[in-house]
Structure formats: structure tokens, C-alpha cells
A and B are shown apart, each in its own frame.
Chain A
Amino acid sequence: MVKPGDGYKDIPIGGLILDAGNAKEYKTGGWRTKKPILDKEKCINCHLCWAFCPDISILSEDGVVSDQIDYDHCKGCGICANECPVNAIEMVKE
């Protein structure tokens, strides 16, 4: 990936970005004022939070929602907590 200070010889021709999906390396978690906490005991695994998360921060492994939320990218909008049908997600002040 191009870094500050790279010369024209280091930059791909045409200004192309060759690492697809490298936005993952950019952390947007610092935007957050409240963070979601998922309670696995209440969770019914409906995956609505997974589908609605704007920052693809609710993770699912083998069809099971993980309580490990990607806090590097979660911006704390609270959509997951608002849409959860069983109130398994709580927004807590950082």
C-alpha cells in the first residue's frame, strides 16, 4: 500500500489501489461515543444486527453471531441495538 513519502516510482501506474478491501486497515472505531455489547444469553441468532450493521462490524462464524464485535470499525451508530428483537444488544458509553 502507498505510504506518505512514497515517490512516483513506488505508486502503481494510474493511481490504482492494488490491495482490494484494504480499507479494513483504516480504523474508524475512534468515531464512537457509545459501544454495543452483545449478550449471548439473550441472543436468538436471528442475524438482523449482522445484516443491518453499516460497518460490517457484527461478525458471524459458521452461521452463529459472535459476541466479539469488530470495535476497530464500529462507529457506534446503535442500529444493531435498536433493531434487535430481543434487546440483546446494549449501547454503553465508552
Chain B
Amino acid sequence: MKLKEAAKTSERFTGGHRLCSGCVAGPVTNLIMRASKNPAVVGAATGCLEVSSSIYPYTAWKDSFIHNAFENSAATVSGVEAAYRSLKKQGKMEEDFDFIAFGGDGGTYDIGFQSLSGAMERGHDMVYVCYDNGAYMNTGIQRSSATPKGANTTTSPAGKVIAGKQQYRKELTDIMAAHNIPYVAQISPFKPQELMKAAQKAFETKGPAFLNVLATCPRGWRSRAEKGIELTKVAADTCVWPMFEIENGEWKLLYKPRKKKPVEEWLRQQGRFKHLFKRGNEHIIEDIQEHTDKRWNYILERCGERQ
């Protein structure tokens, strides 16, 4: 769908929400909601998006929205879907609905992981969207299992003892693919058409679908507000955040940079990696580069692309 045409769809997520200035969760949610063709039931796990889009007595959602605890947005939405299926079977409802659960990386990778895994395994006809900003930003930038190695957070503080988070991030997209669900995609908002296309595919898929979307957090990444979208492009060009989809077990690469850039370019623009450029920490950047290359080659291989 061309953006010009996309702009003619109705607004489902409104302005007046209180996400920070430059928060990329805003455009991600807006575009995904616009890709849905049916009225939707939305649930959101505790996180920035939830608390800032539904501050009483205001709501930024034009669809039915269910406020959730941290761990159960997938469980709640799967329950709604099951109830809807039953009502439809009894002939009490005819209209089609989309069932969407939103979660940040904390509510998806960590706390909501078991309910997400359960909902996907049970095969509910729903879409789970994770907007991944790489830490618990809502509560004040604590590390999550999505935080990249080397990042300075309040629970992995860079100092004399450690240089930021010591572990690599978890590859949740692969874990969701291992659930053998019909549609999984890891995407990025700097390609809005690809994002909407993936969302549309997810909505049209019968059965569970999972979208993992990179969303810049200027507060937590210590980056400039206007660089939000640019950074997601740098992430794709440095192969830190590869874009791919897995449709019925078939891996497909969605973006291949013309020239792969070194990870320094990604690290340098964010204050959370500032300490990595101090003397004595060069080896961490080398480690991150090596890890990124390995992961990129693995994805190329899975997608049947040439290295």
C-alpha cells in the first residue's frame, strides 16, 4: 500500500497521548492500527504505551481497549478471542474483529513471556506486537533481556566494575518462530510501508502472528528526539536489527543494506553506549561486532541469501 493511500485509512490511535516527544512507539502503533481492516480489541501490557495512552479519563484508542497487568496481555486478548469464537458459534455475533495485544520488550521478552508463549501455542487468531525499545523505559531504564550488550541502564550501570550490560540480548523473534506459528516478523519503522504490509499480513493470517518492532526511546537510549527514525535505519544498516519475516516456516529477508556499516555507527549516536568508546573498552565493541556478524550470517543463511 502506498503511503498516500494509507493516509486515507481512518485514525485509530489519536494524538493527545502522553508518550515522550520523539517516542517511536507512537508511529509504530499508529501505522499498525491503520493496517487493520476490522474493528479491533486491543490489550496492552503495562509499559510506556499503556500508561501514556490511557490516562484516566482520556484514551487515545478508538477501538475497545483493555488495560492489563504486566504479564498477561497475551492471556487477556486470547481470552477475548476465545469468547468471541464461542459467541460466533452460537450465532450471537457476526461481525469480524481483529485481536491485538501490545507489549514493550519488558512485558514481552521477560514478564509476559509465559502468557505470550501459551497464547501462541494454543493457536488463537490474534496478533501480538512487541515494540522493542530495549529496556524497562517506563519505570526508569532498567535492563531487560532485550537490552543490547554494553548498554548503560540503571540496573547495569557502566562504571569501574562493569561496562554496561554484560549479556547479549535474547532473540525473541527466533523463539516465536520456534512456536511454528503461521506468521512472525521482525521489522523496523523506517520502512513504513513494510511495517504496514507486515501488519496487514499478520491481521490476515488465520491463527497467531507475532511482530517484533524496533522503537527508539530517546530518553533511554540517550539519543536526540529527532533521530528516532534515523536510528532505526542505522540499526538495519549495521545489521544490529535485521528485518525478516517467517511465513509458514519460510524465512524471508525484508531488508539488505547496500553496504553493511560497522556497529560503531549505531553505538556512537547513543549516550547509553558512550563508555564503550573510552580507552580499555575497545574489545567490547569488537565483541559486539563479532556477535552481530555471526547473527547476520545466520539470518542470511536461514533466508537463503548469499553472504
Contact = CB atoms under 8 A, between A and B. Distances in A.
A54 B227 CA distance: 12
Interface in A8-51: 15, 17, 19-28, 31-32, 45-48, 50-51
Interface stretch (B53-61, B114-122, B166-174, B297-305): B53-61
A70 B226 CA distance: 18
Given A48-B3, A54-B23, A56-B14, A63 B8 contact: yes
Contacts of B18: 26, 28
Contacts of B15: 23-24, 28, 55-57, 70, 72-74
Contacts of A70: 15
B8 A17 contact: no
Interface residues of B, number: 43
Contact of B14 (A3, A24, A83): A24
Contact of A25 (B22, B58, B227, B230): B58
A48 B22 CA distance: 15
Contacts of B60: 21, 23
Contacts of A88: none
A23 B16 contact: yes
Interface in B1-49: 3-8, 11, 13-27, 30-31
A21 B230 contact: no
Interface in A48-70: 48, 50-57, 60, 62-63, 65, 70
A26 B56 contact: no
Contact of A75 (B13, B21, B24, B59): B21
Given A24-B14, A28-B15, A79-B229, A52 B27 contact: yes
A63 B9 CA distance: 10
Contacts of A28: 15-18
A56 B4 CA distance: 15
B246 to A, nearest CB: 25
A60 B11 CA distance: 11
Contacts of A74: 15
Max chain A Cβ within 10 angstroms of own Cβ: one of B6, B18, B24, B27: B27
A93 B290 CA distance: 43
A81 B30 CA distance: 19
Contacts of A22: 57-59
B7 A17 contact: no
Contacts of A46: 3
A26 B58 contact: yes
Contacts of B4: 45, 47, 60, 63
Given A20-B62, A46-B3, A77-B226, A52 B192 contact: yes
Contacts of A47: 3-4, 6-7
A86 interface: no
A87 interface: no
A29 B46 CA distance: 25
A82 B230 contact: yes
Contacts of B30: 53, 56
Contacts of B57: 1-3, 17, 22
A65 to B, nearest CB: 8
Nearest to B15: A73
A62 B152 CA distance: 45
